[in-house]
């Protein structure tokens, strides 16, 4: 049966929108990690720079709105964006003012104070319940802060919130350079990728990845499955997995993915060996299994050396590589070898001309720790959004802007 085609989106780009000397409201994704009151990873701030610099050159009055964490509709100091304003100021080398609210008198005052080319970052959108509820009045209050709206928060466009779908109903809207870049690279995966095309899918939850696995099987030449989700696939094949993570309810779905890979003539590879432990904790004694099976009483915590070898052979041959989800419990050094090996192999493939795309916070964390982020063709700032695009979903934040 032919797949139903989703309607094509007609998105106005920032460079097509008149913004000269206007008040421009920009939805950014500054949902960054904070430690000790400071931003510990500024990659999402840097990802917004092309859009911000373009608007600064256009002498726009730039009003930035973002969420941070999950404060449940009321102010919480630990989720304040104030430290983010300081970090952005340091990166840009110009003052970035901060408003203690994103709507109301304080917000209006902060916007009125802006001169051409200046920037203000508003306080956390999610300090108001109206954001996640997509409350029309809250959206209207936000829209009153600008004359033009720029959607540049790729990590939030799969959410139907006031700042992503409410504002575009009120203001002339377009997509910024970050969203444009994300869509361009993901289109290479969805549309016409250079072949061989290899997808590497890991992470803990099978349920999070089933839809994207099924979509990828229509497009890829090789599918490599690792991480905690791999044990459900092994169990579906009748392989003993010891005490490893298992989603009993998804065994039949995992088997259906394997069956589809055979039908599509897609090479689908599961871990051939494992780093196994009695419990998941730092410093624990590890052993490597002799094959796919994990002995009773042990837990799979990472792919083993033979699996790394097999996976790397496939990556080396690839012309397009998409990676989402780590191969093991990478946060613990003893279980990070598989994920690091994938990151290094992708960096090497990139040097040899392959298009390398990484999506998902955990995968990006592996790259960041390995110092390899800059060596990828594209690191997606929105794991959830990128997966939903690959699943074929129309993202609310894009359809709201589409003309």
Residues assigned a catalytic role: 44, 205, 361, 384
Give me the residues paired with residue 288 across strands: 275
In this structure, are strands 119-122 and 96-99 parallel, antiparallel, or unpaired?
Answer: parallel
Record the tokens describing residue 339, joined without a space: 């994920």
Give me the residues paired with residue 241 across strands: 294
Angle in degrees, CA 198, 200, 204, rounded to 5: 165
Cα R_g (the chain), whole angstroms: 22
| CA distances for 372 relative to 154, 309, 386, angstroms | 22, 20, 20
Cα–Cα distance measured from residue 11 to residue 398, given in angstroms and rounded to the nearest whole number: 8
CA-closest candidate to residue 16, choices 177, 148, 174, 179 = 174
Check: CB of residue 301 under 8 Å from CB of residue 289.
no
Record the tokens describing residue 108, joined without a space: 């209006």
Phi, psi of 131 (to 5 degrees): -65, -60
DSSP code at position 13: B
Cα–Cα distance measured from residue 191 to residue 198, given in angstroms and rounded to the nearest whole number: 14
Record the tokens describing residue 270, joined without a space: 């599961």
Handedness of CA 204, 256, 321, 399 (dihedral sign): negative
Cα–Cα distance measured from residue 343 to residue 97, given in angstroms and rounded to the nearest whole number: 38
């Amino acid at each position: 049966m032919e797949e139903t085609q989703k309607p094509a989106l007609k998105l106005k780009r920032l460079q097509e929108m008149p913004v000269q000397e206007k008040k421009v409201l920009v939805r950014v994704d500054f949902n960054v990690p904070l430690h000790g009151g400071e931003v510990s990873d500024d990659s999402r701030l840097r990802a917004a720079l092309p859009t911000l610099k373009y608007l600064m050159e256009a002498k726009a009055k730039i009003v930035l709105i973002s969420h941070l964490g999950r404060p449940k509709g009321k102010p919480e100091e630990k989720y304040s964006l104030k430290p983010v304003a300081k970090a952005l100021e340091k990166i840009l080398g110009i003052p970035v003012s901060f408003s203690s609210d994103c709507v109301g008198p304080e917000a209006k005052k902060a916007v009125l104070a802006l001169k051409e080319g200046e920037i203000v970052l508003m306080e956390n959108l999610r300090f108001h319940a109206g954001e996640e509820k997509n409350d029309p009045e809250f959206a209207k209050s936000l829209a009153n802060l600008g004359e033009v709206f720029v959607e540049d928060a790729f990590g939030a466009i799969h959410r139907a919130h006031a700042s992503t779908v409410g504002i575009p109903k009120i203001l002339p809207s377009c997509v910024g350079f970050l969203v444009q870049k994300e869509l361009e690279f993901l289109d290479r995966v969805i549309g016409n990728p250079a072949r061989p095309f290899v997808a590497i899918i890991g992470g803990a939850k099978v349920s999070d990845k089933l839809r994207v696995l099924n979509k990828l099987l229509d497009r890829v030449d090789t599918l490599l499955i690792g991480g905690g989700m791999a044990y459900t696939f092994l169990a579906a094949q009748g392989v003993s997995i010891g005490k490893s993570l298992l989603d009993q309810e998804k065994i039949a779905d995992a088997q259906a993915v394997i069956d589809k890979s055979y039908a599509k003539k897609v090479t689908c590879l599961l871990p051939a060996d494992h780093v196994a432990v009695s419990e998941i904790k730092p410093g624990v004694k590890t052993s490597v299994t002799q094959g796919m099976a994990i002995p009773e009483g042990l837990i799979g915590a990472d792919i083993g050396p033979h699996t790394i070898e097999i996976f790397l052979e496939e990556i080396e041959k690839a012309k397009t590589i998409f990676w989402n989800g780590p191969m093991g419990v990478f946060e613990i050094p003893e279980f990070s070898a598989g994920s690091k090996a994938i990151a290094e192999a992708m960096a090497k493939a990139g040097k040899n001309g392959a298009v390398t795309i990484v999506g998902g916070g955990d995968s990006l964390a592996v790259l960041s720790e390995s110092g390899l982020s800059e060596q990828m063709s594209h690191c997606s700032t929105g794991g959830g959004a990128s997966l939903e695009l690959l699943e074929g979903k129309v993202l609310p934040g894009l359809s709201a802007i589409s003309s």
